[in-house]
Amino acid sequence: MGERKGMEIALAAAEAAALCRPDVVAAYPITPNTHVPEHLANIVSEGKLDAEYICVESEHSALSACMGASGAGARVFTATSSQGLLYMAEIMSIASSMRLPVVMALGNRALSGPLNIWNDHSDIMSQRDTGWISLFASHGQEVIDMIIQAFRIAEDADVLLPINVNLDGFQLTHVVEVMDFPSQSEVDAFLPAYKPFASLHPDHPCSMGTLGLPEIYSEATKAREVAIVNSRKTILKVWAEWEKAFGRRYEPVESYKMEGAQEAIMTMGSMGETAEIAIDALREKGIPVGLLKLKLWRPFPYEDVRKAAKGLKSLLVLDRAVSFGGPGGPVASEVRSSLYGETDRPAITNYIFGLGGRDVAVEDFIKMFEKMRSGDKKRSKDQYEFYGVRGE
């Protein structure tokens, strides 16, 4: 049996990773994710986990070390945030192209500049197109669960792709929450040992990460795209098995009070928790509104979004990042492309909010909802708007 206890979520992320018995951990500390590698270092030094803990000199090295170890057949784990992720950027695409199942806990933090250590989603959005599977947790329990699930998904013979599990910096990493920790035997039963598809071994020589000339690059790229699109099947299979084993349900798009809803708000990450309270308040006033929480960012769950949006009159999509000079928020952009071909589709409003740690309260969700409903003429022409920015 597992155990229910209160703990800081970053520490819980490290505990969850340790339960997965990684062979190699290579990470470089960075706010707000420092406690993840720090706590794992403690776990290893206390002899509770038989892993090689590599104190690398940078994030570039952290991911590179993980990939080398993964290539040799090891189960690997790393953690980072923001600028650290950018320092890994050169390696991110290589990890997915080499099909190495690296698991990363990504404590989301705004990108500089101006220099800011607080939470938004600009870090992961900058690495959106690197071919990693991306999961978004909205509270501590999901962080634990998703890290364990991530190893199963990443290492599945039908997937073999790296995964980042996104947990909002501070709002999740530094918050103490009561969570259920599965026992070691439960995790062992859920997560079999990693069987590498090939490994760097002198008895079976092979080369990994070789040059891809123009004659092969296009085919290799298509194979990668098909692999990540197909990973959806395994993600759903693993989530179904998780529900069976632990009783907690996971879906690409989670619904909250969507019964009979004509309008809905969509969030990704920890803001969904605050938004739930706002939905409760609006429902109490008799407004048929629900919440959609996006858990799977890549591969993007187009069909689930279409299903969830069916019958809605309007949908307010909230983004914690902006694609400068582009379509506004990255989540809204995907939601819009999901629904473009539908005849019966909701009007979509996109607000960009909660940037660089800007606090967002329950009342803000209500205000955003009311703002969307006010039918402001200026807004309907705009693709998106910043919410809560002074000087509106």
The contact set with other proteins (CB under 8 A) reads 97-100, 160, 197-198, 204-210, 212, 215-216, 218-220, 222-223, 226
Q: Are strands 24-26 and 52-54 parallel, antiparallel or unpaired?
A: parallel
CB of 74 to other proteins, least distance (A): 15
Measured from the CB of residue 204, what is the shortest distance to other proteins in angstroms? Answer: 8
| Nearer Cβ to other proteins (51/100) | 100
Comparison of 67 and 266: residue with beta carbon closer to other proteins: 67
User: Cβ 323 to other proteins, closest distance in Å?
Assistant: 29
CB atoms within 10 A of CB 363: 12
Compare residues 219 and 363 and give the one whose CB is closer to other proteins.
219
CA distance 91 to 344: 42
Q: Min. distance of Cβ 233 from other proteins in angstroms?
A: 17
**Exposed, middle or buried, 61 (CB in 10 Å: 0-12/13-18/19+)?**
middle
Could you tell me if 90 and 62 are in contact, meaning their C-beta atoms sit under 8 angstroms apart? no
Which residue number, 55 or 94, has a Cβ lying nearer to other proteins?
94
Closest CB to other proteins among residues 221, 262: 221
Residues 6 or more apart in contact with residue 182 via CB below 8 angstroms? 2, 19, 144, 148, 190, 246
Q: What angle do CA 62, 156, 152 make, to 5 degrees?
A: 70
Q: Which is nearer to other proteins, 219 or 370 (by Cβ)?
A: 219
Considering the complex, what minimum distance in angstroms separates the CB of residue 54 from other proteins? 22
Closest distance to other proteins from the beta carbon of 219 (Å): 4
The DSSP result for 6-38, as a single string, is EEEHHHHHHHHHHHT--SEEE----TTSTHHHH
253-256, strands of its sheet edge to edge: 253-256, 289-294, 263-268, 314-319, 347-352, 385-386
Residue with Cβ nearer other proteins (207 or 343): 207
* CA-based torsion, 359, 361, 366, 367: positive or negative: negative
Q: At its nearest, how many Å lie between other proteins and the CB of residue 104?
A: 18
The CB-of-40 to other proteins minimum distance in angstroms stands at 27
Minimum gap (Å) between residue 364 Cβ and other proteins: 45
Contacts of 324 (CB under 8 A, 6+ apart): none
Nearest 5°: the CA angle 347, 353, 357 is 160
Taking a C-beta distance cutoff of 8 angstroms, is the pair 101, 161 a contact? yes
Backbone angles phi, psi at 4, to 5 degrees: -105, 125
Q: How far apart are CA 29 and CA 40, in angstroms?
A: 11
